[in-house]
Amino acid sequence: MVEPLRAIGDHGIVGDLETVALVARDGAIDYLCWPSLDSPTIFADLLHPGRGGAFEITPHLDHPRHLQLYVPDTNVLVTRWMGDDGSAEVIDLMPQPDARRASGHEARSLIRRLTVTSGTVSFTMRCAPRFDYAREVPAAAAIEGGVRFSGQQLSLSLYASTALEPDEGAARARFTLSKGEIAWFVLGDDTLPCPDDAAIQAQIDATAHVWRAWLRRSTYKGRWREQVLRSALSLKLLTSARYGSIAAAGTFSLPEAKGSERNWDYRATWIRDASFTVYAFLRLGFTEEAEHYNRWVGERVMASDRDDPLRIMYALDGSEMAEESELPHMTGYADSRPVRIGNAAHSQTQLDIFGELLDSVYLSNKYGAAIPHEGWLHVCGIVDYVIAHWQEPDAGIWEMRSEPRHFLHSRVMCWVALDRAIRLAKKRSLPAPLVAWSEARDAIVADVWANFRHPEHGYFVQERGGRDLDAALLMMPLVRFVSSTDPAWLRTLDAIGEQLCDDGLVYRYRVDDALAGDEGAFTTCTFWFAECLARAGRLDEARMQLAKGAAYANHLGLFAEEVDVRGLSLGNFPQALTHLAFISAAHFLDRRLDPAYRPSWQP
């Protein structure tokens, strides 16, 4: 198996609420889509080492130690090289809209400011963008103050405080700095003006100020504050300032196991994942983000057909997700082919999304603005759809590409859709056929208890009439379908611990899903399991599970989609669903462990 040039977990992330860049421990930016998070890549060495494009700054130090940290309470990243004869650091950031307005520089950009902190250090810089998923090598030409990269559909300008030499599809520089001296590089659209030292400093200061101001809105005061707020900052990077949509992850086609074909594009808004993210934002006091997303999803609901009310995912601008296709010219991370863009799952039926959506609508109404009349009519349409279809098979939360099945998780979330609509109607005195809705809700309860339990052991199972477990069942007490201390649930919790858990790792399932290869442990499920233990009153176990799960974050507190048996990051990165599951588990444990803790938001 080909070892990757840089590991998934050895990265930090910066962004401007329109796109994100990954910065490796060695200072290379080897992943960036431009101009939007779901646009084609301009740097993709992470997926095609040596040919995908990268922005590298290399100090000439003998075996330096690499360190990374965020400027406290911000998404401004610092990468350090520590050597015997010298040291240096680079600050990476992308000014978000408020910071651009505050600094008086409206053009979007990626800023890299380099400083030598001890000794005298020589550097090599190479910026080699490869447009359109590395299918186009742009022309590089000198301009005043920098180099312009020109392609068929895209042009970028790179400016620097040091002399740049255009090369074949690249810009290069060699220079030496002594202690306290700086150099900077700024990459952006070809409308970007050449900045100066003062402009660079103004944008760094404004960006840090805006991130700190945003984080001060948080109401979270619990014992896991540092990592919870880092998760909040990571989730915020995955939101779109323009649309209000929330991406499931920052990347595409990073594999769930090295050499595997389980490589999917997560640069889209899943209704499920984004609705869960609303819970996390509400828990932390970020109501504006929740309301912005609800407006976005409301537009999707109102534009949908009553007989087919919602897709499971959308592009970030609200359009249809692109059809799945492969990039055969790319080798993939750790030679994991195929490299895929788009996602075929967008056409699947996943009945659970209606439960997650209406739960977020209910909570947003409880803690935010009341639902308008037209919005309520569309909620009623969703309820009618759920009543008509809840008994049908679907692809389930894990988007299995086998034949549709009757999944318990989907049944439970259909119950959630009806239950939250009933609660909302009562709370806001909204017109609704409550008797019919209640009868349908209760019919789902009866179906679950009669048809989704192990015939010998009595615990709940993945699908109707089956015997296998599924970590998605951990949502049952979290959405209040079943009591956290119900004997049948406690048997289920123990069975999941015995059959799907391994030293803090939690696997989604152990059944055939019609895909070749293995997958890692799913990091989201680790925190669902911790919260379920806490809700069952097993607080010592829950704290240890949370501690082990938190240790699977990378050196910056970022979670990937999955981890391997050694606890190393796999899959797309960072994963929104995992960060919000961690926030939820920490939030609940705070309430259980400290009787004096009074969060401002409780579900």
Taking only the tens place, the pLDDT of each residue in 550-567 is 999 999 999 999 999 999
The number of angstroms, rounded, from the C-alpha of 269 to the middle of its chain's C-alpha atoms is 10
**Prediction pTM value:** 0.95
Pair 542, 594: CB distance under 8 Å? no
pLDDT of residue 97: 96
Q: Dump strand ranges (E) for 53-145.
A: 54-59, 65-70, 77-82, 86-93, 109-128, 139-143
Query: Which structure tokens are listed for 296?
Result: 């976005």
pLDDT of residue 33: 98
How many CA within 13 A on the CB side of residue 296? 28
Buried b (16+ CB within 10 A) or exposed e, 113-137: bbbbeeeebebebbbbbbbbbbebb
Spatial separation of the C-alpha atoms in residues 199 and 193, rounded to whole Å: 11
Spatial separation of the C-alpha atoms in residues 40 and 60, rounded to whole Å: 32
Spatial separation of the C-alpha atoms in residues 34 and 20, rounded to whole Å: 9
pLDDT of 332 higher than 60: yes
Tell me, what DSSP letter sits at residue 64? P
Contacts 24+ apart (CB under 8 A), 439-444: 440/386, 440/387, 440/390, 441/415, 444/390, 444/411, 444/412, 444/414, 444/415, 444/418
Taking only the tens place, the pLDDT of each residue in 474-506 is 999 999 999 999 999 999 999 999 999 998 899
- Fold of the 225-593 domain: Glycosyltransferase (1.50.10)
Buried b (16+ CB within 10 A) or exposed e, 9-22: bbbbbbbbbbbbbb
- The closest alpha carbon to 283, from 589, 594, 561, 593, belongs to 589
pLDDT of 517 higher than 80: no
Average pLDDT over residues 424-450: 97
Domain boundaries, the chain: 11-215, 225-593
pLDDT of residue 601: 53
How far is residue 457 from each of residues 304, 405, 461, 466, 488, measured CA to CA in Å? 43, 22, 10, 12, 9
Spatial separation of the C-alpha atoms in residues 345 and 343, rounded to whole Å: 5
Q: Within 10 Å of residue 540's Cβ, how many Cβ atoms?
A: 9
pLDDT of residue 41: 98
Burial class (CB in 10 A: 0-12, 13-18, 19+), 388: exposed
With respect to CATH, is domain 11-215 assigned 2.70.98.10?
A: yes
pLDDT of residue 515: 78
Spatial separation of the C-alpha atoms in residues 160 and 517, rounded to whole Å: 46
Q: For residue 151, what are the contacts with CB-CB under 8 A and spacing of at least 6? A: 131, 132, 136, 138, 139
Q: For residue 129, what are the contacts with CB-CB under 8 A and spacing of at least 6? A: 42, 43, 53, 55, 138, 149, 156, 169
Average pLDDT over residues 571-586: 96
Average pLDDT over residues 128-135: 98
pLDDT of residue 5: 83
Q: What is the 3-state secondary structure of 546-558?
A: HHHHHHCCCCCCC
Instruction: Report cis status (omega within 30 of 0) of the bond before 574.
Output: yes
pLDDT tier, 188 (very low <50, low <70, confident <90, very high otherwise): very high
How many CA within 13 A on the CB side of residue 349? 18
Spatial separation of the C-alpha atoms in residues 278 and 281, rounded to whole Å: 5
Taking only the tens place, the pLDDT of each residue in 56-72 is 999 999 999 999 999 99
By percentage, how much of the chain surpasses pLDDT 90?
Answer: 83
